[in-house]
Amino acid sequence: MRVTVEVVGEGEQAVDVDDDETYADVVRAVGYSPHEVSVIVDGTPVPEDQPVESAHVRVLRLIKGG
């Protein structure tokens, strides 16, 4: 399946994923660690270990500081 990944504030990329891949795999494919982002599908966060079921995904980078 081809998935359009929108990294909020940075643009979109198309990624090809296999049937058994998860949202964590999609995040890695666009160059991020699943620990530094939240994946959003249809306005709702999804678990990183969930199989990919959507053709459009938003990735929101989390900012940590102190």
**Residue 17 confidence (pLDDT) above 70:** yes
Three-state SS string across the chain, please?
CEEEEEECCCEEEEEECCCCCEHHHHHHHCCCCHHHEEEEECCEEECCCCECCCCEEEEEECCCCC
The whole-number average pLDDT for the span 1-21 is 95
Return the pLDDT at 58: 98
Q: Give domain 2-61's CATH number out of 1.10.1040.10, 3.20.20.150, 3.10.20.30, 3.40.50.1100.
A: 3.10.20.30
Domain boundaries, the chain: 2-61
Taking a C-beta distance cutoff of 8 angstroms, is the pair 14, 3 a contact?
yes
Compute the residue count for the chain: 66
Q: Indicate left, alpha or beta for 3 from its phi (over 0: left) and psi (-120 to 50: alpha).
A: beta
At 55, is the pLDDT very low, low, confident or very high (cuts 50, 70, 90)?
Answer: very high
Average pLDDT, the chain: 94
Kindly indicate the confidence band of residue 66, based on its pLDDT and cuts at 50, 70 and 90: low
Q: With 70 as the cut, is the pLDDT of residue 6 above it?
A: yes
